Amino acid sequence: MVSENPAWVPLNATEIEDIVVKLAKDGVISAKIGLILRDQYGVPDVKLATGKTVTKIMAEKGVAPSLPEDLSNLMRRAIDLNVHLRDNRGDVSNKRGLNMIEAKIRRLERYYKRNGVLPAEWKYSLSNAELMLK
């Protein structure tokens, strides 16, 4: 297991942080930023190079999204599935799928409230999710 940044990495920590901030301002999600740094800039591991994760860098520089990415991705899936179910009312397997996704969202909601990422009064609902994300 590699425990330190390889010597062949072409960028230093501040340059990597600047790239992360620039990409985050352009609306790129943190997972995609890591892939771009790996594939286009030759940075194999942001945490080894900077000592911080991409999400931590985004939060420190004030460009982090208001909702955690895993929660917003699940909310997008729930919205898309709800649109599908409006057109296909008899699709019971996808009704169950929507219930499962919403259960995941509620579990994440409790987790993020407990850890202070979401405010205590934040509440998930499908109509609010559509307003927040679309």
pLDDT at position 56, please? 94
Please say whether the beta carbons of 120 and 63 come within 8 A.
no
Task: Provide mean pLDDT across the span 79-106.
Answer: 96
99 half-sphere exposure, CB direction, 13 A CA radius: 6
pLDDT for 33-72, tens place per residue? 999 999 999 999 999 999 999 999 999 999 998 899 999 9
Nearest to 22 by CA among 53, 50, 61: 61
pLDDT at position 85, please? 96
C-alpha to C-alpha distance for 101 and 9, rounded to whole angstroms:
40
Fold held by 69-133: Helix Hairpins (1.10.287)
CB-based burial label for 65 (10 Å; 0-12, 13-18, 19+): middle
Q: What is the pTM of this model?
A: 0.80
Nearest to 133 by CA among 86, 78, 81, 85: 78
Domain ranges of the chain: 13-61, 69-133
